[in-house]
Structure 1
Amino acid sequence: MPVASGGRSRRVVVCDGVRAVFARRADGRWCLANGGELSVLEGLGGPPEPISRLRGMGAALEAGVAGPGDIAELGRCLKSVASSTDVFEARVPPHLAAAVTVACSSRGHHKAAEWLCWVLSSRLEENLSADARVGSGWLGWEINSGLLPRRAWWNGCGWLEGLDGEFWEKLAHHSDYRVPLAAEASDPNTPPARLNELASTPSLEVIDLVCSHPRTPAGALKFLCQSARQNRTAWRVAQNASADASVLRWLSTSPHRGVLEAEDLRLLWLLAVNPNTPRDALGRLSRCDDSSVLSWVAYHPSAGRRTLERLARNRRWEVRRPIAWNPSAPGRLIARLAADKHRKVRSAVAERRSLPEEVLEELAADRSLEVRAAAAANPELCERLVRQLAQDPHPRVRAAVARRPDAPPDVLAVLAEDADPGVREALGGNPSASPEAVACLAEDPVLGVRRAVCQRPEVPEDTIRQFARADDDWLRWGAAANTSTPPDVLEALVGDSDGQVRDAAARNPSIDEAVLERLAAHRDKYIRHSVVENPSVPDRLLEQLARDDCAVVFSAAAYTLAERRARNPARTPAEKAAA
């Protein structure tokens, strides 16, 4: 584990016995100051892994995607990548994803190359069938494996395209042959002719990218499936949301069976999920006996009438229910499902829009509370039926009415005094609840009801002050997030013992600017990050935080400043000073 020490312009890091010095340059960027010393040590047979790791850290600092405050954590992330069995299991937080990626571009370690291939795959993620993505990192996972790659934490990988030209130049000349090929295969603008050439590469990582590329020709996709030694290649093609219908039709028939297993349920499932799968292929898939495959066929908008009618006669309710959610299902079939023997099917029909009024009326009087609750939540329910269900004997149905923003005010007023706390709690989250009802619910003896309204601006000030002093963390968090909370209460909450309460108070636009200024220098980087996310933070504080030592702060501040300047490009110096 790297150990860092030093001042504001120089940091000394010792990593597995190897010493590195990082220094601040005249332009404010940090760099590795003793690279020559490390080269000599490497030439004398020094440990290659820590030397490579320190060089990668220097590259990330020099590129401006990490700061000196990130050195220790960045070193742990690089070690996690190098020691992981699968790179998507490495522990890399969102704010250091770019730093780890830049560091790996400067390393020859095979795990660094795998990390780069995995990150590059994010450029094609939008071309995968949305429902076939298990987590966000699809390169190394097996479908239904239960692993959720950590890239799902990153909220997309748009930062990747924002890295400078030097990073892409490093990829093009990387020592591992897979990396430059993966950079080409993941580029959405790579021409079909070049993708045809890349289809013959021996790297599985590159083949994955070619199979998932929107511009890969149909002939190349078929070739890859025929020449593959693993089912994984066919799975990638079946995930490709831009794959030609002829390729998907071919995958659903027999010619490829000599290469793939006769019963490849994962492949059939991916075909059923792909929006481009043609009607005749879906008809063939409907003869499969697997419930998950049949369920997706039943939900597919291209499924034909005969296919849906066959599935509506299936003995399993899990197969019949998705037909009710299919926008292409004929009305006659939906009316038949409204009388289905299983409540799960009828409740799915009750959720459907554009139902005939007589069908909705039958479902609103159904013997199953689950069906009546689904009908009560249907946005097209008429007022007469809303009033009828507001008097239902079961609280779950009344709670569904209490959540409706279009419910009549007199109905909501009655539900505010309902004997069941679950109904009152449901009303607390309804934006149409009157200020009087919210004030009443804020004094409710049941904690869950008070929690439901603690963020609402209609809560009286005295009650907000009570919430801020409560023993319950949730109530204090609600007071910290409430835009009606007085500034003096917010100032007290920024010193709360709970981190989420402190963060919520720092993000609250009602907090005093003087308090924000103090928090901008807080020792906790996540508090400083919360200041950046406050919509009322002035530009001068953002400019200060854009020079922070930690990537989670300075990257967010720079992004927020750029967004503001893009929205208001013509601001005068006087206006900027006032901000």
Structure 2
Amino acid sequence: MNHVLYGLAANPALPSELVDRLIAAADTDLADALAGRPDLSRAQAAALASRFEQAAVRLAYEGRLAADDIDPVAQPRAALALLDERAGLPQWAQVLAADPLVEHREKLAACPDLPVEVARTLATDPEVRVVAELALWTTPDLASQLAQHPHAEVRSAVAANEATPPAVLAALLTGAGLPPARSCLVCDRESTPFVHDPHCPRPDCELPPGAACDGSHQSTVHDIQQMALRNPATPATAAAGFADHPSMLLRHELAARTDLSPQAYARLAEDPIPGVRAQLADNPAIDEALIRTLATDRGHDVQRRLAHHPRLPLDVLVRLTDATRLGSPLLPRIAAASPAEVEELAASPHPTVRMLLARRRDLPAEIRDALARDPDAKVVKSIAPHPGLAEAQLQAMVERHGSRVLAKVATNPDASAALLEQLARHQPPVQKAFREIARHRHTTAPALLTCLTYRQARPIAAGHPALPPPVIIELLTDDNWQVVEAAAANPSLPPASMQRLVP
């Protein structure tokens, strides 16, 4: 790969005539990069698509090709992409339904709004994978018919299709009212009874670990039940009967459903497997009483998942901050806190609670400023990226807490050029800070030159438009290909240099 050309293909300042030259000289990798340019003209997109089908697929999905730009016989994958985007011609589906490549028919089966006759043709395809793909996306009427398909793999796809009628999903879940399946992927390939070795040594074996069939297609029947329990269109009354099922995987799927009765949730809260209880813990449908019960559950991941519950009482949240590690995302309950609750959280004696609140980026100025003065470094790290903080406040954070907050201060969108230069000179240096400084919109050349001396920040700094042009040109011959690509993609690269570099 020519990394200079690859970088140039992504350069937003590359003149249109040089884009034309790159298209003419492109190989597959370069064509993929050029397809990502948002400024391609219709003619350029069509020229690129005519030479490289993978680029045509991307352009089709991004809405930059029309049906007139594609020949479905010469470029079937691009035609399928347009059909998938509802931008292709209906007659293409007829042609592609007879395509000799299974992969193309399988992709067609997933396309929306297929003509009825095409869908029926695909429903009788000799390859099960094509029929299963159709079953996953098709209309309620055809899904109902395919629920009786003799192959269990097709029924599993019907069970996952949210357009499948609820009564049919209930039948798939229990097996009642449906003729038994006659085959599955296991008995298609192996003599039964057969249980697939999880450590199967055969390199060409495609069966999943534990796949089994003794004539009842048991592993695929289990998959059907799992898909049906995961499907929100499956009636809750049919699903609830699986609360005591011996399969942990099925109970785990059930615990994620939001339409069960309180009694069913209560049974799941007593499940012997912590993973099932953890799945239940962040289910938005459980009530406060069950939330409080799960808050005392020391099973693996239960309390952490519960902390992300959108209706968590604040007193429970406070207790959970001392019981589990909560990670870095803003918790839904804190994001939804009322103004009065925000004041309550800001005044909490628990630093972790104040840190969690400080992750919000819409705090009132007085609370934001109070958290910026917090004596605990982890609170200050959390509030440092908040917009609206003055330069004096950001500098005070660094003076009080030093290296512990430096990288987060560098992410503040209002950090000035002078402050970023100061952070780049900080001793001892902080590696994470250089990466943030190198991508900041206010960063100046002096700070970027410092960032270039640190390996992890160097590729980021090489792409910053504030870098002096002579430095960018020098970086085009760097030993690190990531630096070369970033420099070639830098919009401050002089046009004369671009002209010399493009074939």
How many residues are aligned here? 409
Give the fraction of aligned pairs with identical amino acids, expressed as a percent. Answer: 17
Q: Report deviation, 1:348.
A: 4.6
Q: Report deviation, 1:450.
A: 0.6
1:481–1:176 Cα change, 3 Å: same
CA offset digits 1:402-456 (Å, max 9, x no partner): 3244666666556545565433322323446554332223456643421112132
Paired residue for 2:344? 385
CA distance in 1, matches of 2:19, 2:320: 70
CA distance in 2, matches of 1:186, 1:160: 21
1:494–1:159 Cα change, 3 Å: farther
Paired residue for 2:378? 422
Q: Report deviation, 1:252.
A: 0.8
Q: How does 1:401-480 map to 2 (within 5 A)?
A: 401-405=357-361, 415-416=371-372, 420-431=376-387, 433=389, 435-443=391-399, 446-468=402-424, 472-480=430-438
CA distance in 2, matches of 1:301, 1:441: 44
The answer to whether the 8 A contact 1:241-1:274 is kept is yes
Paired residue for 1:166? 70
Paired residue for 2:147? 222
Q: Report deviation, 1:481.
A: 2.0
Paired residue for 1:241? 162
Matched, 1:361 2:315: yes
Q: Report deviation, 1:396.
A: 3.7
Q: Report deviation, 1:200.
A: 1.1
Matched, 1:213 2:137: yes
1:247–1:314 Cα change, 3 Å: same
Paired residue for 1:112? none
Q: Secondary structure of the equivalent of 2:380?
A: helix
Q: Report deviation, 1:496.
A: 6.5
CA offset digits 1:239-295 (Å, max 9, x no partner): 333333233222211246644633544433333322322213322333323334323
Aligned residue among 68, 74, 85 for 2:25: 68
TM-score (norm 1): 0.55
CA distance in 1, matches of 2:59, 2:322: 40
CA distance in 2, matches of 1:446, 1:454: 12
CA distance in 1, matches of 2:385, 2:374: 15
Most deviating of 164-173 and 446-455 = 164-173
CA offset digits 1:100-154 (Å, max 9, x no partner): 997786xxxxxxxxx99xx99xxxxxxxxxxxxxxxxxxxxxxxxxxxxxxxxx9
CA distance in 2, matches of 1:67, 1:384: 62
Q: Report deviation, 1:332.
A: 4.8
Q: Report deviation, 1:369.
A: 3.5
1:464–1:248 Cα change, 3 Å: same
CA distance in 1, matches of 2:119, 2:459: 51
1:206 aligned partner, one-letter code: V
2:411 aligned partner, one-letter code: Q
CA offset digits 1:436-483 (Å, max 9, x no partner): 332223456643421112132433433312444676553333223222
Aligned residue among 440, 451, 463 for 1:482: 440
The answer to whether the 8 A contact 2:408-2:433 is kept is no
> 5+ unaligned residues in a row in structure 1: which ranges?
4-25, 31-63, 76-91, 106-114, 121-153, 551-579
2:323 aligned partner, one-letter code: L
Q: Report deviation, 1:316.
A: 3.5
Q: How does 1:128-527 map to 2 (within 5 A)?
A: 157-158=61-62, 165-170=69-74, 171=76, 172=95, 176-178=100-102, 181-182=105-106, 184-215=108-139, 217-223=142-148, 226-228=149-151, 232-254=153-175, 255=178, 258-259=181-182, 261-264=217-220, 265-334=222-291, 336-337=293-294, 345=302, 348-354=305-311, 359-361=313-315, 363-365=317-319, 368-370=322-324, 377=334, 379-380=336-337, 382-383=341-342, 385-389=344-348, 391-392=349-350, 395-405=351-361, 415-416=371-372, 420-431=376-387, 433=389, 435-443=391-399, 446-468=402-424, 472-486=430-444, 488-489=445-446, 492=449, 498=455, 501-503=458-460, 506=463, 511=466, 515=469, 524-527=484-487
Q: Report deviation, 1:501.
A: 4.3
2:385 aligned partner, one-letter code: G
CA distance in 2, matches of 1:180, 1:365: 54
1:347–1:526 Cα change, 3 Å: closer
Q: Secondary structure of the equivalent of 2:284?
A: coil
Q: Which has the higher contact order (CA 8 A, sep 6+)?
A: 2
1:100–1:177 Cα change, 3 Å: farther
CA distance in 2, matches of 1:166, 1:428: 51
CA distance in 2, matches of 1:401, 1:469: 31
CA distance in 2, matches of 1:186, 1:312: 38
CA offset digits 1:132-177 (Å, max 9, x no partner): xxxxxxxxxxxxxxxxxxxxxx999546966864342322479734
The answer to whether the 8 A contact 2:255-2:265 is kept is yes
Q: Report deviation, 1:195.
A: 0.9
1:199 aligned partner, one-letter code: A
